[in-house]
């Protein structure tokens, strides 16, 4: 099977239900119809074998993780994911691997009504680069740079589980149910597209938590030229991380990457209305701190003392 047959067989056949795809896979480029009054969002993420995932993972999980990581970037802008290109580099032609990968793509794309519109398949060390395209109503994209002094800082869900799963990757002595739950968080993160309508209306800044909560909040602070004061007692830590890490759990929640929850800010004046909208939508978020003028991150410890917070997150270099 050559690469064209491979693309046709495994990828061109992935169904979608989008009338805005004028044409997708099978030409030199895909062609898309962009609705009036919207702006286009574009984001690329690469997942490299044995850096972002293990080569030994089921290809189904690799595909799901790659899609979810990319969808999360669109969610962080308050947008809707629409179209995806896939650049897949493979060490060899492995039909079973490709079947699992294509199934993972199919299932994760259909969940968000995303069309696979093109890409490239090459031979080389295993890696996956996805470029996702989303839409947002004109001038409603939520940037990292909009946080203002006095804004409340929110996080969309419990943190630390993906980092805990990474620690357990080579362990064989962990309770199977716990391990399954943690691995689900690592391999099948849940991008918070459900928050987009509320965030479009109320968030002054937003980011997805990929590098680690404190590192990602620091990105908002840097871009907005502000600082942040957190209340550690309010940080939602995943219960299994509490179980396994005890006193160290908060460290996992603050520094562990790959959570793909959203961190965002809401002006104090809008907070009541925001919480009402959230409740109407059946969603829960956690208020964990406040934006301040002084640069840097600070945190109120469980002891009541406020101390500077070290920003730790993943860096490739």
In the bound state with its own copies, the residue whose beta carbon lies nearer, of 22 and 281, is 22
In the bound state with its own copies, the residue whose beta carbon lies nearer, of 222 and 271, is 222
In the bound state with its own copies, the residue whose beta carbon lies nearer, of 52 and 238, is 52
- Tell me the closest approach of the beta carbon of residue 105 to its own copies, in angstroms: 15
- Tell me the closest approach of the beta carbon of residue 62 to its own copies, in angstroms: 14
- Tell me the closest approach of the beta carbon of residue 130 to its own copies, in angstroms: 9
In the bound state with its own copies, the residue whose beta carbon lies nearer, of 44 and 113, is 44
Cα angle value 236/242/248 (rounded, 5°): 95
In the bound state with its own copies, the residue whose beta carbon lies nearer, of 156 and 245, is 156
In the bound state with its own copies, the residue whose beta carbon lies nearer, of 115 and 230, is 115
* CB-based contacts of 159, cutoff 8 Å, min separation 6: 209, 213, 235, 236, 237, 238, 241, 252, 253, 254, 256, 259, 261
Q: At 121, which helix (H) or strand (E)? A: strand 115-123
Q: At 241, which helix (H) or strand (E)? A: helix 239-245
Cα 47 from Cα 90, distance rounded (Å): 12
In the bound state with its own copies, the residue whose beta carbon lies nearer, of 138 and 302, is 138
Q: 109 and 67 in contact (C-beta within 8 Å)?
A: yes
- Tell me the closest approach of the beta carbon of residue 49 to its own copies, in angstroms: 8
- Tell me the closest approach of the beta carbon of residue 36 to its own copies, in angstroms: 7
- Tell me the closest approach of the beta carbon of residue 239 to its own copies, in angstroms: 28
| Burial (0-12, 13-18, 19+ Cβ within 10 Å), 283 | middle
Q: At 260, which helix (H) or strand (E)? A: none
How many Cβ atoms sit within 10 Å of the Cβ of residue 223? 15
User: Which ranges of 59-160 would DSSP assign to H, the alpha helix?
Assistant: 59-76, 95-111
- Tell me the closest approach of the beta carbon of residue 220 to its own copies, in angstroms: 10
């Amino acid at each position: 099977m050559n690469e064209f047959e491979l693309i046709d067989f495994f990828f061109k056949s992935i169904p979608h239900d989008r009338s805005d795809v004028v044409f997708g896979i099978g030409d030199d480029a895909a062609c898309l119809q962009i609705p009036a009054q919207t702006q286009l969002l574009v984001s690329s993420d690469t997942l490299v074998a044995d850096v972002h995932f293990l080569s030994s993972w089921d290809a189904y999980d690799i595909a799901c993780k790659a899609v979810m990581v990319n969808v999360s970037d669109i969610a962080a802008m308050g947008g809707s994911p629409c179209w995806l290109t896939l650049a897949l580099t493979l060490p060899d032609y492995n039909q079973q691997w490709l079947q699992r990968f294509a199934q993972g793509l199919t299932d994760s794309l259909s969940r968000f009504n995303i069309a696979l519109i093109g890409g490239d398949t090459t031979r080389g060390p295993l890696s996956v680069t996805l470029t996702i395209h989303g839409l947002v109503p004109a001038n409603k994209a939520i940037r990292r740079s909009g946080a203002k002094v006095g804004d409340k800082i929110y996080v969309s869900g419990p943190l630390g589980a993906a980092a805990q799963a990474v620690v357990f990757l080579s362990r064989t002595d962990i309770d199977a149910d716990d391990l399954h739950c943690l691995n689900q968080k690592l391999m099948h993160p849940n991008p918070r597209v459900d928050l987009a309508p509320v965030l479009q209306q109320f968030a002054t800044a937003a980011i997805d938590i990929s590098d680690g909560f404190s590192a990602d909040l620091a990105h908002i602070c840097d871009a907005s030229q502000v600082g942040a004061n957190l209340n550690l007692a309010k940080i939602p830590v995943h219960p299994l991380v509490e179980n396994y890490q005890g006193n160290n759990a908060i460290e996992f929640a603050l520094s562990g990457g790959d959570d793909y929850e959203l961190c965002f800010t809401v002006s104090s004046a809008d907070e009541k209305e925001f919480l009402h909208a959230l409740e109407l939508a059946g969603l829960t978020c956690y208020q964990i701190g406040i934006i301040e003028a002084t640069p840097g991150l600070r945190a109120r410890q469980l002891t009541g003392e406020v101390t500077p917070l070290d920003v730790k997150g993943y860096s490739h270099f």
